[in-house]
Structure 1
Amino acid sequence: MRDRPVFVRAATGILVLVVVAVAASPWIAPSSPAEQDLAARLLPPGSAHWLGTDHLGRDTLSRLLDGGRFSLVIASLATLLTGVIGTGIGVLSARRRGWLDEVLTRTNDVLLALPEMVVALFLVAVLGPGFLSLVLALTVTGWTPFARLARALAYDVSARGFVESARVLGCSTTFIVFRHILPHLAGPLLGQAALRFGQFLITVGALSYLGLGVQPPQSDWGSMLAAAQPYAARAPVGILAPGLVVFTVALCVTFLGQRLARMSSTRMVLNPASSGAVADA
């Protein structure tokens, strides 16, 4: 890890800083994110309000920290669910093959062809805005990239000698999957998860911007953008702050995901039988 480029460290540091700040927002926020002061509306950044105030006199920094909890939790939960579902379907498809593989693959292809944002908009509009609606909207089609990647990798790993040796030795399918296949999939799938997290974060922000995410008096980065837009000329920080945070976090996570995916691909090419696990069978 000593030869990591400076920009990798910078991206990691930014993400850690954002996550820690958002997690600690109840203790470090300058004021309550819902506290209104109409006499102090649309103030510029200053000692009392580091990022100024919004159109209702609420502290922008406090709302930025509080809103990050909603955005990051939704994106993280959606990434976890889609990763588990997609990996399970992909590995099952590669191991069972036959008609089940065909059905799962064709279903995956159909869902991949659907625009994720349109599907998410439809589901949230039908179910109503809210936490669970957003998670479901992101999960319905979000698992498909994981399934495709997991299936391709599982096919490749299953054809290697140590997997066949474990099967000949009488190891169960469950043991082979968890001991010999999934460890080889972990790196690429983690890279995919990081990429998907950035996409989910932007999608959550877009849905909240359209009024289909968190509802007042709660806040998140997308709803802050929508609320600050009419006052952009008078108080530009109100729209710049959440926009820059969404952009920066999504960029850092996506970059680290691409980096991790490249490292995993290189490792699999250079050391294709790294788990060599027949002895452990």
Structure 2
Amino acid sequence: MMIATFRNWALDDSPSSRRQAAWGNWYRIWLNLRGNPLGMIGLTIILIFIGIAIFAPLLATHNPASQDLANRLAAPTALHWFGTDELGRDIYSRLLYGGRVTLGMVIAVVVLVAPVGLAIGCIAGYFGGIVDTILMRITDIFLAFPRLVLALAFVAALQPGVESAILAIALTAWPPYARMARAETLTVRGSDFIAAYRLTGGSSWRIIFRHIMPLCVPTLIVRVTLDMSSIIITAASLGFLGMGAQPPSPEWGAMIATAKRFIFEQWWVAAIPGIAIFMVSLAFNFLGDALRDVLDPKAA
């Protein structure tokens, strides 16, 4: 009954308030997303991994740092569902706690990068001229280097660790968002409603942050979702190269790095975290494609 009432209220063609219109818009987005099977598969996988990362202490069967050298490199059994690593640590428990590290790094990068890239792109696109030239040339400099190589350089200049990896990935991930926001801003800065607001005395900064940036958010969401897989792979790559989370932290990339010596004999040691990285990356790609179909106003 409550669901039916909310549905009728949200889908009302004549909303009586901004709140009702906003809820109606998000509910329509959800209905469209629900009709995309791959998008729902991706969303389900992402929610599952986020859930096991949050509830890792409750779901883990062993202490992820507890060593049992007498039981090292054991095959998957009822006691150790995914086997053990070279130090006898339970891979299943380390995978759960590793999700906290890897997904936490990715979320931190997005929280840092998305607003910065959005602001830089909107400012460059709105003001144009010398401001646009300076900001876009800085963006081009960052885009000229491969993300992983530039991230490695930043981490090396700092020191290996989770915080350094997050900062390094953030410093290399913002340019695409700035480019996207600039392109969106160029299409709307000459619109009639922007000109009308300017005539009423609205400042340029208020126009940018209150009117232009919100218009760029749907495209930003799609771009962030599609970019999450590359951020995950970059974070795992830094861990694999010893520049990210440091031992004994159970980070997925670092788990693969320590297991590469046993990949042919004890394949599960490296395969399990590799499968986790693959599944999360694929899920974000599925969800990103679905959101692009739902949120892109140019998609017919």
Q: Please say whether Structure 1 and Structure 2 have the same fold, judged by a TM-score greater than 0.5.
A: yes
Contact 1:42 1:234 in 2 (8 A): no
Post-superposition CA distance 1:225-266 (Å, at most 9, x none): 11112122332111111001101101111232233234332x
The percent identity for this pair of structures is 36
1:209 aligns with 2:253: no
Superposed, 1:49-128 pairs within 5 Å as 49-128=80-159
Within 5 A, what are the aligned runs for 1:32-47? Answer: 32-47=63-78
Q: Is the 8 A contact 2:64 2:94 kept in 1?
A: yes
Letter in 2 for 1:32: N
* Segment of structure 1 superposing worse, 48-57 or 233-242: 233-242
How far apart are 1:108 and its partner, in Å?
1.1
Distance, in Å, in 2 between the alignment partners of 1:148 and 1:70 is 29
2:139 is equivalent to residue 131 of structure 1? no
Residue matched to 1:197 = 228
Cα distance in structure 2, aligned partners of 1:12 and 1:195: 13
C-alpha distance in structure 2 between counterparts of 1:190 and 1:5, whole Å: 17
Which amino acid is the alignment partner of residue 230 of structure 1? R
1:188–1:260 Cα contact (<8 Å) kept: no
Q: Counterpart of 1:30 in structure 2: which amino acid?
A: T
Residue equivalent to 1:149:
180
Q: How many residues align?
A: 269
2:62 aligned with 1:31, yes or no?
Answer: yes
The whole-number CA distance in structure 2 between the counterparts of 1:268 and 1:233 is 49
Q: Which runs of 5+ in 2 are unaligned?
A: 1-30
Whole-angstrom distance in 1 between the partners of 2:147 and 2:299? 32
Structure 1 gaps, min length 5: 271-281
Task: Provide the C-alpha distance between the structure 1 equivalents of 2:36 and 2:225, rounded to a whole number of angstroms.
Answer: 19
1:38 to 1:81, Cα distance in 2 relative to 1, 3 A:
same
Which of 272, 275, 294 lines up with 1:244 in the alignment? 275
State the TM-score, normalizing by the size of structure 1: 0.91
Q: 2:195 aligns to what?
A: 164
- 2:88 alignment partner, SS class: coil
| Structure 1 residue 4 corresponds to structure 2 residue 35 | yes
Q: CA separation of 1:45/1:269 partners in 2, compared to 1, >3 Å: closer, same or farther?
A: closer
Q: Runs ≥4 in structure 1, deviation > 3 angstroms?
A: none
Q: How does 1:256-271 map to 2 (within 5 A)?
A: 256-265=287-296, 267=297
Write the distance in 2 (CA, Å) between the matches of 1:102 and 1:187. Answer: 26
